[in-house]
């Protein structure tokens, strides 16, 4: 865009002095012809389009002409410097004149330093004698240096460094005598400091007066001007600029209608250029202007805001959706002004309204909304499970205003958002929550049916429910239904007061927030009161028992035998001719309940029950987990052992019944860093930590276990998805008197034999190192271990540490710089055969 510039008067002006300046004889040379001075004024560089309002203060007085100065020179060698100007006439010899001329020429070839007085030098030649007229002009604050000579020079401003040349020639004659021939060239350099003014000077002659009132500015560029976070009603404009360069930033915003963007840019530029540098005593204060202007026969509202120079972003809000806007930005300060940045953008689409839900089931529901008045490309529907965080989204055609969401979780609450989409922009979302219908309980069964009672059991719903609604009735009384509300944690209910030999129907539903699931139902028939005669179980061992009974006179079509250990229930269907059955695979020294039911007309009824206990355990006082396994323990977990036999104190340990055949007594575990292993000698002797988490069983117990029975050692390691193990066929820990020296041999595995380096070494801790070879390794590597000098394995090191080799380390597997997240050390008797030689899944 073309930048308008300030116009100046360039008409020729004749200098007509009313008095003879020099009355002095001349030499024999012919006087020069009279010339007319034609001042040529080059426009100063404009810093912005439009009109420029100068903020330079004019002088109260004008500078005296050369004639007036020379009339007052008699009786004075140097005129006293006044407030406005000082004039001095100096007589120089030819050499001095030559030096001065050369100096002035050199000075015109470069920018002059700022913050010095402006100096004007005129050289006049009369009768072979050169004289210099020197005027000093003093600005209001600080002025720029300039040197006058008979050479054309360049005027620069600090902002754009544009060149301006101005040459003024003034000649006057009277009575065939040459009085004055002056060529004046001025070089000015604007101040770089943004808080200083450079004031122009009024030049005046008797016949014509010209005023030069200029604002010398620097054009600077604001960087990274961009718009983001565009919504339906607003957006954020941000930019970058050097610190302390601008006193203020001015932003404008105008709505673009009917393709008048170019006209609005011009108008915006004109308004911006008329804004002068804003100086606010409080940099945090801003000013807002709302203007109305006529643009091509219509009214356009313009928003303008002046911001502090420290601002780097602005939030435009309260705008119309799907509307195109023109925004502009420029910075200003004393002596500095940026170019205007203009951006054209559109606000986001209009959002939908009135979000509603219908057809809610266990796994689906319908979402509907009211479409916006404006045209959009599509709608985006997003749903998020508030508990699991699982989410999904789908696009809906702009002609539709509803969608069915399916494959959801039952009894779960979802956050639903719907937005309008137009090109790459989305509107503000409308949001609401909805809960799906809970899933039904499953596996509804009727147990322990008698002639007047029955026990209902079921598997609870997967989703958390508020309650269960249970209803039941008999076909003998079809109009009577009993309804019971049970807690959401209930899994069984005892029915009482039933009628004999009656068919009952039972129905149960789950409920969440008044939403009920689909019902689950079953039927059963109460007994007649006829009982079986059951003999006491015999031939009971620690793994088996024989159950026998007498058949009643009333024949049954089949029998159902059920036996139960704790919560574990098993059942067997038998022929009506069978009256004896052996139970096998029982747990030793365990209490069982057995019951027998007879089936008639498709319903089981009339049961009797008995209880028995399996035989004594093979190891009543197990010394380790291998003996607990022989006694019937099958699952990994905590157990009670007697390391010193039946006369010793019981000790709680953790048994690994799954790895490599099971029977392992775990004595160390690292898994999450929750337990500090940088402990004293006493702590390691007695043990510390939680069996369910991180712990050390204790060196005293290790000595007891390894001294009674030859033991083997297994170490399981895990890092991410990688696992490894080290197995030692022989493992022993000496007594405390011998400092718990470790002895091991017979390695095989996948982790590498790092423990071989520690074989025969005593245990050491932070407060005790029985046999120091070089340094106190327990202190240096922050753990208790069988250090040597110092380690190749350090499983009790600082958890999750990767500096200075202080971590949980097994060098032969992952190196010294890797800190292992999971380790487990365990032992069992050496005579137990190994069933798995490859890496098993480590327990943790």
In whole angstroms, give the CA distance from residue 462 to residue 339.
Answer: 65
Give the residue-averaged pLDDT of 549-572.
84
Q: Identify the CATH number of the domain in which residue 571 sits.
A: 2.60.40.10
Among 357-371, 533-547, 554-568, which stretch is predicted with the lowest mean pLDDT? Answer: 533-547
List the Cα angle 329/335/340 in 5-degree steps. 20
* Token duo for residue 209: 């007066």
pLDDT confidence tier of residue 535, bands split at 50, 70 and 90 = low
User: Which CATH number belongs to the domain containing residue 814 in this structure?
Assistant: 3.90.215.10
Whether residue 613 has pLDDT greater than 70: yes
Q: What average pLDDT does the chain have? A: 73
All residues at 6 or more sequence positions from 690 whose CB lies less than 8 Å from its CB, including other chains: 675
Residue range 357-371: mean pLDDT, rounded:
92
- 142 belongs to a structural domain: yes
604 and 727, same structural domain?
A: no
The residues, any chain, with a CB within 8 Å of residue 89's CB and separated by 6 or more, are: 69, 70, 73, 131, 132, 133
Buried b / exposed e along 104-125 (16+ C-beta atoms within 10 A) = beebbeebbebeeebbbbbbbe
**In this structure, are 148 and 287 located in the same domain?**
no
At residue 314, the pLDDT reads 96
Tell me how far apart the alpha carbons of residues 130 and 124 are, in angstroms, rounded to a whole number.
6
Q: Which two tokens stand for residue 219?
A: 């054009």
Q: Is residue 769 domain-shared with residue 783, that is, in the same domain?
A: yes
Among the listed residues 221, 218, 172, the one whose alpha carbon sits nearest the alpha carbon of residue 198: 218
pLDDT at 819: 92
Do 227 and 268 reside in the same domain of the chain?
A: yes
Last residue of a domain, one of 328, 346, 364: 346
pLDDT at 206 over 80: no
Give me 251's structure tokens.
Answer: 């932003």
Residue 497 has what pLDDT? 87
pLDDT, one tens digit per residue, over 485-498 is 888 888 899 999 88
Is 488 a domain residue?
yes
Residues 404-426 have a mean pLDDT of 90
> Among 53-62, 315-324, 448-457, 801-810, which is the least confidently predicted range?
53-62
Same domain, 667 and 573: no
Q: Going by DSSP bridges, is the β-strand pair 353-358/711-719 parallel, antiparallel, or unpaired?
A: unpaired
Q: Is residue 427 part of a domain?
A: yes
What integer pLDDT is reported at residue 286 of this predicted model? 42
Q: Tokens 């930019």 appear where?
A: 239
What residue numbers bound the domain in which 335 lies?
Answer: 221-346
Residue 211 domain flag: yes
- The alpha carbon dihedral of 512, 514, 518, 520 has a sign of positive
pLDDT at 325 over 60: yes
Q: Binning pLDDT at 50, 70 and 90, where does residue 801 land?
A: confident
Q: Is the pLDDT of residue 74 over 50?
A: no
Residue 549 in domain:
yes
Q: Answer yes or no: do 107 and 209 share one domain.
A: yes
Does residue 473 sit in the same domain as residue 325?
no
Higher pLDDT, 536 or 204: 536
Do 821 and 713 fall within a single domain? yes
Q: Rounded distance, CA 782 to CA 819, Å? A: 13
| Same-domain pairing of 297 and 154 | no
Residue 83 domain-assigned (yes or no): yes
446 and 426, same structural domain? no
Using a cut of 0.75, tell me whether the model's pTM lies above it: no
pLDDT tens-digit readout, 149-172: 333 333 333 333 333 333 333 333
Does the pLDDT of residue 659 top 80, yes or no? yes
- pLDDT score for 579: 85
**Of the candidates 167, 190, 216, which is a domain's last residue?**
216
The number of folded domains in the chain is: 6
Q: Say which residues have a Cβ less than 8 Å from residue 236's Cβ, sequence separation at least 6.
A: 227, 228, 229, 313, 314, 315, 316
Mean pLDDT of 590-615: 81
| Across 660-680, average pLDDT | 96
> Picking from 61-65, 320-324, 470-474, 704-708, which range would have the lowest pLDDT averaged per residue?
61-65
Q: How far apart are CA 1 and CA 682, in angstroms?
A: 86
Pick the closest to residue 217 from 4, 342, 55 (CA basis): 55
Residues 727 and 749: beta-carbon distance below 8 Å: yes
Using the CB atoms, write b or e for 784-804: b if 16+ within 10 Å: bbbbbebbbbbbbbbbebeee
My answer on whether 237 and 328 are in the same domain is yes
Are 8 and 140 contained in the same domain? Answer: yes
Q: Considering only 65-79, 360-374, 728-742, which range has the smallest mean pLDDT? A: 65-79
- CA dist 120 and 131 (Å) reads 13
Helix (H) or strand (E) holding 207: none
Q: Which of 339-348, 590-599, 808-817 has the lowest average pLDDT?
A: 590-599
Q: Per the domain annotation, does 409 fall within a domain? A: yes
The backbone torsions φ and ψ at residue 87, rounded to the nearest 5 degrees and listed phi first, read -115, 130
Domain termination residue (choose one: 299, 325, 346)? 346
Interatomic CA distance for residues 202 and 66, integer angstroms: 14
Q: Answer yes or no: is 521 within a domain.
A: no
């Amino acid at each position: 865009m073309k930048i308008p510039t300030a116009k100046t008067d360039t008409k020729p002006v004749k200098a007509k002095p009313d008095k003879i300046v020099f009355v002095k004889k001349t030499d024999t040379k012919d006087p020069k012809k009279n010339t007319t001075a034609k001042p040529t004024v080059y426009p100063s560089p404009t810093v912005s389009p439009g009109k420029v309002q100068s903020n330079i203060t004019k002088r109260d007085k004008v500078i005296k002409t050369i004639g007036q100065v020379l009339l007052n020179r008699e009786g004075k060698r140097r005129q006293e410097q006044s407030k406005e100007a000082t004039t001095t006439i100096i007589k120089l010899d030819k050499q001095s004149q030559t030096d001065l001329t050369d100096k002035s020429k050199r000075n015109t070839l470069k920018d002059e330093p700022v913050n010095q007085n402006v100096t004007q030098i005129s050289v006049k030649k009369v009768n072979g004698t050169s004289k210099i007229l020197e005027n000093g002009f003093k600005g209001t604050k600080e002025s720029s240096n300039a040197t006058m000579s008979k050479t054309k020079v360049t005027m620069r401003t600090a902002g754009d460094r544009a060149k301006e040349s101005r040459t003024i020639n003034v000649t006057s004659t009277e009575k065939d005598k040459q009085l004055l021939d002056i060529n004046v060239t001025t070089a000015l350099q604007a101040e770089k400091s943004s808080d200083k003014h450079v004031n122009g000077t009024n030049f005046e002659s008797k016949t014509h007066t010209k005023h030069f009132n200029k604002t010398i500015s620097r054009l600077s560029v604001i960087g990274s001007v961009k718009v983001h976070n565009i919504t339906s009603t607003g957006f954020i404009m941000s930019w970058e600029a050097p610190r302390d360069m601008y006193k203020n930033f001015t932003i404008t915003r105008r709505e673009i209608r009917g393709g008048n963007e170019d006209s609005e840019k011009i108008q915006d530029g004109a308004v911006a250029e008329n804004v002068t540098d804003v100086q606010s005593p409080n940099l945090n204060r801003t000013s807002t202007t709302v203007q109305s202007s006529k643009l091509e026969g219509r009214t356009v509202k313009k928003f303008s805001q002046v911001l502090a120079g420290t601002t780097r972003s602005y939030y435009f809000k309260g705008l119309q959706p799907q509307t195109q806007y023109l925004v502009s930005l420029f910075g200003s300060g004393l002596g500095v002004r940026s170019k205007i940045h203009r951006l054209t953008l559109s606000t986001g689409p209009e959002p939908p309204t009135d979000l509603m839900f219908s057809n809610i089931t266990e796994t689906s529901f319908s979402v509907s909304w009211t479409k916006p008045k404006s045209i959009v490309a599509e709608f985006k529907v997003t749903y998020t499970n508030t508990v699991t965080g699982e989410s999904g989204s789908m696009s809906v055609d702009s002609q539709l205003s509803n969608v069915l969401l399916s494959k959801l979780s039952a009894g779960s609450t979802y956050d639903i958002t719907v937005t309008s989409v137009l090109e790459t922009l989305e509107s503000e979302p409308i949001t609401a929550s909805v809960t799906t219908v809970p899933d039904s309980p499953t596996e509804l069964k009727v147990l322990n049916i008698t002639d007047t009672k029955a026990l209902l059991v079921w598997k609870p719903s997967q989703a958390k429910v508020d309650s269960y609604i249970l209803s039941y009735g008999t076909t003998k009384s079809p109009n009577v239904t009993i309804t019971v509300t049970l807690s959401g944690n209930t899994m069984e209910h005892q029915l009482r007061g039933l009628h004999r030999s009656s068919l009952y129907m039972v129905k149960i539903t789950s409920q969440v927030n008044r939403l009920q699931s689909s019902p689950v139902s079953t039927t059963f028939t109460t007994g007649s009161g006829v009982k079986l005669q059951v003999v006491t179980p015999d031939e009971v061992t620690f793994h088996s028992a024989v159950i026998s009974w007498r058949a009643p006179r009333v024949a049954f079509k089949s029998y159902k035998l059920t036996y139960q250990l704790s919560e574990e229930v098993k059942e067997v269907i038998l022929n009506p001719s069978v009256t004896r059955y052996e139970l096998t695979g029982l747990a030793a020294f365990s209490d069982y309940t057995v019951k027998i039911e007879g089936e008639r007309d498709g319903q089981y009824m009339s049961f009797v029950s008995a209880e028995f206990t399996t035989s004594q355990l093979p190891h009543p006082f197990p010394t380790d987990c291998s003996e607990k396994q022989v006694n019937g323990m099958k699952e990994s977990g905590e157990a009670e052992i007697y390391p010193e036999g039946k006369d010793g104190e019981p000790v709680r340990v953790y048994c690994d019944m799954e790895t490599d055949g099971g029977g392992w007594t775990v004595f160390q575990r690292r898994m999450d860093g929750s337990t500090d292993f940088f402990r004293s000698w006493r702590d390691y002797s007695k043990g510390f930590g939680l069996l369910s988490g991180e712990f050390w069983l204790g060196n005293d117990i290790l000595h007891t276990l390894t001294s009674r029975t030859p033991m083997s050692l297994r170490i399981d390691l895990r890092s991410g998805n990688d696992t490894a193990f080290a197995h030692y066929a022989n493992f022993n820990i000496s007594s405390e008197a011998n400092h718990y020296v470790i002895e091991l041999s017979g390695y095989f595995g996948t982790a590498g034999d790092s423990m071989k380096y520690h074989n025969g070494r005593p245990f050491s801790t932070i407060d005790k190192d029985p046999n120091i070879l070089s340094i106190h390794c327990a202190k240096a590597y922050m753990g208790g271990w069988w250090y040597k000098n110092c380690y190749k394995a350090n499983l009790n090191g600082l958890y999750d540490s990767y500096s200075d080799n202080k971590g949980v380390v097994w060098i032969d597997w992952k190196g010294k710089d890797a800190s292992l997240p999971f380790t487990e050390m365990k032992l069992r008797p050496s005579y137990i055969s190994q069933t798995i030689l490859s890496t098993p899944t480590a327990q943790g």
